[in-house]
Amino acid sequence: MTRAASSEPATSSEPAASSEEEAPPIFGSWNRLYALVLGSLAVTVTLLYALSKVYS
């Protein structure tokens, strides 16, 4: 048995007419969100460094 070809074109998983990116749901821009992530990483590293110095 063979399948009949569909008359509809294949659709991709990406939107066709989406040329501009959507803003993230919080902070309004990707740069602010990235700054928050990097800032929290820096705080975490600093706290872990301080704890390792205190308890070593």
Task: Tell me whether residue 20 is in a domain.
Answer: no
Task: Tell me whether residue 54 is in a domain.
Answer: yes
Note the pLDDT of residue 7: 62
The pLDDT tens digits of the residues spanning 10-38 come to: 555 655 555 577 888 888 999 999 999 99
Q: How far is CA 9 from CA 18, 19, 55, in A?
A: 19, 21, 64
Task: Tell me whether residue 53 is in a domain.
Answer: yes
**C-alpha–C-alpha distance, residues 10 and 28, integer Å:** 34
Letter string b/e over residues 13-26, b meaning 16 or more CB atoms within 10 A of that residue's CB: eeeeeeeeeeeeee
**C-alpha–C-alpha distance, residues 47 and 40, integer Å:** 11
Which of the four pLDDT bands, split at 50, 70 and 90, describes residue 45? very high
- How many structural domains comprise the chain? 1
Residue 39 has pLDDT above 70, yes or no: yes
Quickly tell me which residue has 């399948």 as its tokens.
3
Task: Tell me whether residue 41 is in a domain.
Answer: yes
Which of the four pLDDT bands, split at 50, 70 and 90, describes residue 40? very high
Note the pLDDT of residue 23: 87
Query: Which whole number is the average pLDDT over 34-55?
Result: 97
State which residues form the domain around 51.
26-56
